[in-house]
C-alpha cells in the first residue's frame, strides 16, 4: 500500500510514473494526519471543489517535481500489493463493471479542457471521447453477458454530465455533435439523482444556448407518444414503468418552460408536428392526447392551441370512420362495434415484448385485405373513443364543480372549436358530443349554445353551407337534449318558424317549383322544424303550455291534442307553398312526419307525397354546389322513372352515440325515440300503404339518416 507519512504533498505530479499507484483502492493525494477521519474530510472537500490548475497552485509546483521544502516525503510500500499500470494519473473510483471512475472534480476539469480545445480548433480528441461516453449504447453486452469496458459506468456518466453542466455556457454551435449525443442518450431509465441532474442540464442548456431549445423540446415531445421499445429498462437499474417515465418527461418540460417562459412559442408547433400519424396505433394516439392535456397544467398559455389540435385530429379520424363504415354491410358494421369493449379502449401502459410486436406485424401481413380493413376500422374506433374520452375527462371539472365563470370560459373554448373546426366539417359524428353534454350542464349554457347556432343561421354573411349546418345542429340539439326544457323547445321552434315564414315570403314570388340550389336556407329550416316536431311534439301542444307532462299528453286521445296557431299555421303555409319542402327534405323525416301529423290531426300530407312522386324536377346542376354533399343536391332516382330529385341529406349531428367507452358520459343526456300510442301499436299489426313502406321507420328517423352505417 502506498501512503504519505507527512502533511506535505508528494514529489509526484501529472507526469509521475503511474506504476507507483495501487490498483486495489483509491489513493489519497493529500494527507494532513495519519488519522482516518482527517483523510475522509479532505477527500470530501476535494470532491466538492472545482480544481483550478493555475501556475501558482501547489499542484502546479508539484508538476514541476519540486516537493515542499518544509518536510521531506517518505513513501512506504506494501510488498504484498500487486502493482499494475493504470492509464489515468488522477484519483479513481471502482465502477460496477470493473473499470475505474475519475472523481467529479477531475472529470469536470477534463470536460472543460476538451470543450475549450475543440472550440478553439486545436484538438478534438478529448472532445470526441466525451461525446462517445454519451453515444455508447448502455445495453451493450459481450458474449459472456458482461458490459464491455468502454461502456461508461453510472458514476462516469454522471460526472461527465456534471462537467457539461458546469461548462454549459461554452457549448456553442460547434459543440452540436456533443449536445445531440447527450439529448439522444438513454436517461429516462436511470436513477432519480441522474434524472434531476439531466433535467437541470436541459434547462441550463436551453437558457444559456437558445439554439438548442428546439432540439431539447423535440426530444422531450417525442417521449409523449407511445414509448420506444425498451424505454425504462436499463442494465443495473430498476425497471421504470411508463407512467413514471411520462412523469419524468413532464418534469423536464415543466422545468424548461419555467426557465424560458417564451419557450411555449417554440413548443406549440413541435407538439403539432409530433402528433401521431394516421397509421400509428391507437395506443400512440391516446397516450399523446393524454400527455398533451397534461402539458396544459404547466403551460396554460397553450390551452387553446392544444385543445384545438386534439379536436382537429378527432374530427379527421371521425370522418374517416364514417367513410369506411359506408362500405360495410349492416351486419358487419354492428359486428365491428360489438367486438370493441370499453376495457379495450383503456390505454394499456404495459410495454409489450419485441416478440409479441413482431408476431403482430407478421399477422397483419398474413391476413386478407378484407380482414385488414376491418382491423383498421376497429383501430380507428379505439383511437377516437380513447381520445374523446380524454377530452371529456379534461373538460368535466369546471362544469361539475366550477363557478359560472369557469363553466362559461370552458364553454367558450368548446364553442370556438365548434365554429372553426366541427361545424365546417361534413360527417363529423362524435366530436360535437362534447358540446352536447357540457352545454346541458345548466340552462344558461343551453341558451349559449342555442344562441350561437341561431346567430349563424340568421347571419347572411356566413356561407350558406354553414348556415344550413347550424340549423341541423340546433334542431338535433333541441330534439335530443334530455335536459332541455319544453320552454326552450318552444322558443327555438317559434324562432325557426318566424325565420321560415320570412324566407317563404322572400322566395315564393319568384319560385316556379322546388329548387334546393336557389332556396337552400328555406329547405334546411323546414327540415329542422319537421325533425323537432317528430321528437318533441308533446312540448309543442297546448297541453304542454298548461303544464301537462309528456306521460299525461300520451294518455290523451288524438282528437284532444291541439297545437297553437303559430305552430300549425307556419308549417301549413310552408308545406302547401310552391316551394314544396316535402319534395326536397329527407324522405325519412318527411315520411315519419306524414304518419305522425295524420295521427295527431295536424295536417294530412299523403296527397302531396303522391303528387311529388310524379313531379319531375329539371333544375340547373351547379357543380360547385356538389362539393359538400351534406346539403347539396344529392341525386336520387324517384319512382317517376329517370327523374333525378335533389334532396337534403338527413344530417342531424346528435344521432345515437355508440362509442363503447366514452358513451358513459352521455348517460341521462339523451332523448330516445318514443313511439306514439295508438299509431305505432297499429303499425305492428299490419302494414301501411306503399308510401309508408317507403318511408323510414322510427329507427331510421332516430338515427337521423337513411343509412344504418352512420349509427356508429
Write the Ramachandran bin of 211: left for phi over 0, alpha for psi from -120 to 50, otherwise beta: alpha
Residue 599 neighbours by CB distance under 10 Å: 16
Task: Report which secondary-structure segment, H or E, holds 618.
Answer: none
Q: Where are the domains of the chain?
A: 1-89, 464-711
Residues of the chain with pLDDT under 50: 1-73, 75, 77, 79, 81-99, 347-363, 619-628, 630-645, 684, 686-699, 702-712
Average predicted confidence (pLDDT) for the chain: 78
Whole-angstrom distance, CA of residue 320 vs CA of residue 554: 41
The answer to whether the beta carbons of residues 161 and 108 sit under 8 Å apart is no
**Per-residue confidence (pLDDT) for residue 294, from 0 to 100:** 97
Q: What percent of the chain has pLDDT over 90?
A: 54
Distance of CA 605 to the CA centre of its chain: 49
* CA triple 509-513-515, angle to 5 deg: 100
The answer to whether residues 293 and 672 touch, using CB atoms and an 8 Å cutoff, is no
Alpha-carbon distance of 285 to 279, in angstroms, equals 10
How far apart are alpha carbons 652 and 648 in whole angstroms? 11
pLDDT digit string, tens, across residues 28-46: 433 344 444 443 443 343 3
The torsion angles phi and psi of 428, rounded to 5 degrees, stand at -65, 125
How many angstroms separate the CA atoms of 133 and 159, rounded?
11
Please give the Cα distance from 387 to 427 (Å, whole number): 18
Q: Report which of 688, 704, 658 is spatially closest to residue 535, judged by C-alpha positions.
A: 704
Residue with grid cell 396554460, as numbered in its chain: 300
* Alpha carbons 663 and 521: distance in angstroms, whole number: 33
Listed in sequence order, the residues at least 6 apart from 57 whose beta carbon sits closer than 8 Å to its beta carbon are: none
Q: Are 316 and 631 in contact (CB under 8 A)?
A: no
Letter string b/e over residues 574-590, b meaning 16 or more CB atoms within 10 A of that residue's CB: bbebebbbbbbbbbbbb
Helix (H) or strand (E) holding 557: none
Distance from C-alpha of 297 to C-alpha of 452, rounded to nearest angstrom: 29
State residue 59's pLDDT score.
Answer: 32
Residue 439: helix, strand or coil by DSSP?
Answer: coil
Of 656, 680, 214, whose CA–CA distance to 436 is shortest?
A: 656
pLDDT of residue 90: 38
CA angle at residue 687 from 684 to 692, to 5 degrees? Answer: 110
Q: Which residues contact 307 (CB under 8 A, 6 or more apart)?
A: 296, 391, 394, 413, 417
Residue whose C-alpha is closest to residue 452's, from 465, 433, 471, 438 = 471
Alpha helices for 209-260 (secondary structure H) = 213-222, 242-259
CA distance 584 to 568: 20
Amino acid at each position: 500500500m502506498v501512503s504519505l507519512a507527512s502533511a506535505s504533498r508528494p514529489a509526484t505530479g501529472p507526469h509521475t510514473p503511474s506504476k507507483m499507484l495501487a490498483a486495489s483502492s483509491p489513493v489519497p493525494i493529500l494527507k494532513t494526519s495519519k488519522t482516518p477521519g482527517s483523510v475522509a474530510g479532505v477527500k470530501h472537500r476535494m470532491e466538492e471543489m472545482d480544481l483550478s490548475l493555475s501556475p501558482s497552485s501547489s499542484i502546479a509546483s508539484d508538476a514541476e517535481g519540486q516537493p515542499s521544502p518544509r518536510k521531506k516525503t517518505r513513501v512506504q510500500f506494501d510488498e504484498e500489493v500487486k502493482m499494475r499500470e493504470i492509464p489515468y494519473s488522477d484519483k479513481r473510483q471502482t465502477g460496477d463493471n470493473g473499470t475505474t471512475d475519475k472523481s467529479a472534480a477531475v472529470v469536470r476539469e477534463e470536460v472543460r479542457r476538451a470543450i475549450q480545445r475543440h472550440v478553439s480548433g486545436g484538438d478534438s480528441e478529448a472532445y470526441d471521447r466525451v461525446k462517445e461516453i454519451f453515444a455508447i449504447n448502455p445495453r451493450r453486452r459481450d458474449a459472456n453477458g458482461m458490459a464491455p469496458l468502454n461502456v461508461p459506468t453510472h458514476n462516469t456518466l454522471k460526472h461527465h454530465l456534471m462537467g457539461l453542466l458546469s461548462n454549459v455556457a461554452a457549448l456553442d454551435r460547434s459543440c452540436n455533435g456533443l449536445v445531440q449525443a447527450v439529448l439522444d442518450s438513454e436517461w429516462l431509465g436511470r436513477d432519480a439523482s441522474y434524472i434531476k441532474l439531466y433535467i437541470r442540464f436541459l434547462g441550463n442548456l436551453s437558457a444559456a444556448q437558445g439554439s438548442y431549445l428546439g432540439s431539447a423540446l423535440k426530444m422531450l415531445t417525442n417521449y409523449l407518444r407511445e414509448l420506444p421499445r425498451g424505454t425504462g429498462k436499463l442494465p443495473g437499474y430498476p425497471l421504470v414503468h411508463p407512467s413514471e417515465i411520462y412523469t419524468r418527461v413532464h418534469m423536464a418540460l415543466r422545468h424548461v418552460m419555467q426557465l424560458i417562459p417564451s419557450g411555449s412559442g417554440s413548443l406549440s408547433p413541435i407538439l403539432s408536428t409530433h402528433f401521431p400519424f394516421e397509421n400509428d396505433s391507437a395506443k400512440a394516439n391516446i397516450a399523446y392526447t393524454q400527455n398533451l392535456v397534461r402539458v396544459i397544467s404547466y403551460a396554460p398559455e397553450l390551452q387553446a392551441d392544444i385543445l384545438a389540435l386534439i379536436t382537429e385530429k378527432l374530427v379527421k379520424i371521425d370522418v374517416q370512420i364514417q367513410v369506411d363504415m359506408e362500405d360495410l354491410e349492416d351486419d358487419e358494421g354492428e359486428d365491428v362495434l360489438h367486438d370493441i369493449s370499453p376495457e379495450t379502449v383503456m390505454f394499456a401502459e404495459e410495454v409489450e415484448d419485441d416478440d409479441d410486436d413482431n408476431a403482430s406485424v407478421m399477422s397483419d401481413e398474413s391476413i386478407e385485405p378484407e380482414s385488414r380493413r376491418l382491423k383498421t376500422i376497429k383501430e380507428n374506433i379505439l383511437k377516437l373513443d380513447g381520445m374523446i374520452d380524454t377530452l371529456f375527462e379534461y373538460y368535466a371539472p369546471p362544469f361539475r364543480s366550477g363557478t359560472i365563470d369557469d363553466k362559461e370560459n370552458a364553454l367558450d373554448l368548446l364553442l370556438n372549436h365548434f365554429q372553426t373546426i366541427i361545424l365546417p366539417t361534413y360527417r363529423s359524428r362524435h366530436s360535437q358530443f362534447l358540446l352536447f353534454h357540457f352545454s346541458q350542464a345548466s340552462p344558461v349554457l343551453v341558451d349559449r349554445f342555442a344562441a350561437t347556432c341561431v346567430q349563424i343561421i340568421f347571419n347572411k354573411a356566413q356561407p350558406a353551407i354553414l348556415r344550413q349546418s347550424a340549423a341541423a345542429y340546433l334542431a338535433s340539439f333541441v330534439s335530443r337534449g334530455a335536459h332541455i326544457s319544453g320552454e326552450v323547445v318552444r322558443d327555438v321552434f317559434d324562432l325557426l318558424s318566424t325565420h321560415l315564414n320570412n324566407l317563404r315570403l322572400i322566395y315564393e314570388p319568384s319560385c316556379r317549383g322546388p329548387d334546393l340550389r336557389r332556396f337552400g336556407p328555406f329547405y334546411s329550416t323546414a327540415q329542422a322544424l319537421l325533425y323537432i316536431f317528430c321528437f318533441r311534439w308533446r312540448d309543442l301542444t297546448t297541453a304542454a303550455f298548461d303544464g301537462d307532462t309528456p306521460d299525461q299528453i300520451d294518455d290523451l286521445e288524438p282528437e284532444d291534442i291541439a297545437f297553437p296557431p303559430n305552430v300549425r299555421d307556419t308549417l301549413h303555409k310552408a308545406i302547401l307553398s310552391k316551394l314544396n319542402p316535402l319534395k326536397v327534405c329527407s324522405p325519412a323525416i318527411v315520411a315519419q312526419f306524414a304518419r305522425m301529423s295524420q295521427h295527431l290531426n295536424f295536417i294530412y300530407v299523403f296527397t302531396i307525397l303522391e303528387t311529388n312522386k310524379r313531379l319531375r324536377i329539371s333544375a340547373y346542376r351547379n357543380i360547385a354546389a356538389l362539393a359538400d354533399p351534406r346539403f347539396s343536391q344529392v341525386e336520387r332516382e324517384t319512382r317517376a322513372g329517370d327523374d333525378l330529385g335533389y334532396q337534403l341529406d338527413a344530417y342531424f349531428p346528435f344521432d345515437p352515440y355508440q362509442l363503447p367507452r366514452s358513451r358513459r358520459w352521455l348517460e341521462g343526456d339523451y332523448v330516445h325515440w318514443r313511439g306514439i300510442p295508438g299509431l305505432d301499436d297499429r303499425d305492428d299489426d299490419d302494414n301501411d300503404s306503399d308510401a309508408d313502406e317507403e318511408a323510414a321507420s322510427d329507427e331510421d328517423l332516430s338515427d337521423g339518416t337513411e343509412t344504418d352505417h352512420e349509427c356508429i
